[in-house]
């Protein structure tokens, strides 16, 4: 069964329970492929996300970053070879455009690698996501974007839920009629393996306009 991690953001390191679960899941540690969220910037190199994994005692034989400096065909080949694919945090829109430009979505969906996304990366892993000015995006009109679609739900990640609960529920109400929406702040994770969904930290489920806090399961 394929395993996916939808992460928020971690200021320091992964908590111990998340580290333990990742150590169990990530048995193949030959190649970590990171997908940039700002693929035109040289400094968007995934150093922070790598430090999380290293802090959890997870190191790889080889690390590769995919951005516009990598040829499209080479990027697709790296996805095929990856042990773990990590969609980096940062600019959700720029990463979404890059995924489309390089036609990476189907390659990622077909891969047997564990797929991890942080913040923007986890949003782009989901089936659809709402691009709204109220969520901080530089747009005038809200619109839905297609993500990779690794699981049939939407994700709002790394957003200040505690102070914006009514706004979040209102903005995502329409989308939640179509699919479940998992909303989380920092220091959170949603893990899927087949039909099983595990929760770490403060995560809310929005479905058919109703919002509820989920219990932690690891």
Confidence band for 87, pLDDT divided at 50, 70 and 90: very high
Q: Is the pLDDT of residue 164 over 90?
A: no
Identify the pLDDT of residue 171.
95
Mean pLDDT across 72-94: 97
Q: Report pLDDT for 12.
A: 87
* Dihedrals phi, psi of 175, to nearest 5 degrees: -60, -35
Residue 19 has pLDDT above 90, yes or no: yes
Rounded to an integer, what distance in angstroms lies between the CA atom of residue 22 and that of residue 27? Answer: 9
Quickly count: other Cβ atoms within 10 Å of residue 174's Cβ: 12
Is pLDDT larger for residue 129 or for residue 158? Answer: 129
pLDDT for res 154: 98
* Residue 4 exposure: Cα atoms within 13 Å on the Cβ side: 28
User: Which pLDDT does position 153 carry in this prediction?
Assistant: 98
Q: Which domains does the chain have, with CATH numbers?
A: 3-211 (3.40.50.880)
Query: With bands split at pLDDT 50, 70 and 90, how would you rate the model's confidence at 49?
Result: very high
pLDDT, mean of residues 85-104? 97
Position 41 confidence tier, pLDDT thresholds 50, 70, 90 = confident
The whole-chain average pLDDT of the chain stands at: 95
């Amino acid at each position: 069964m394929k395993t996916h991690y939808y992460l928020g953001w971690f200021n320091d390191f992964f908590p111990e329970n998340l580290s333990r679960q990742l150590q169990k899941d990530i048995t193949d540690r030959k190649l970590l492929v990171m997908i940039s969220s700002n693929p035109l910037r040289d400094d968007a190199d995934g150093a922070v996300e790598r430090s999380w994994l290293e802090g959890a005692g997870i190191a790889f034989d080889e690390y590769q970053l995919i951005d516009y400096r990598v040829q499209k065909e080479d990027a697709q080949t790296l996805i095929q070879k990856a042990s773990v694919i990590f969609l980096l945090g940062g600019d959700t829109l720029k990463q979404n455009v890059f995924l489309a430009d390089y036609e990476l979505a189907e390659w990622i969906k077909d891969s047997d690698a564990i797929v991890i996304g942080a913040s923007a990366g986890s949003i782009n892993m989901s089936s659809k996501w709402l691009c709204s000015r109220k969520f901080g995006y530089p747009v005038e009109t809200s619109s839905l974007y297609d993500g990779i679609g690794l699981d049939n739900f939407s994700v709002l990640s790394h957003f200040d839920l505690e102070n914006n609960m009514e706004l979040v529920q209102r903005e995502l109400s329409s989308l939640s009629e179509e699919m479940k929406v998992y909303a989380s702040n920092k220091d959170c994770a949603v893990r899927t393996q087949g039909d099983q969904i595990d929760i770490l930290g403060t995560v809310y489920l929005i479905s058919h306009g109703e919002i509820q806090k989920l219990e932690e399961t690891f």
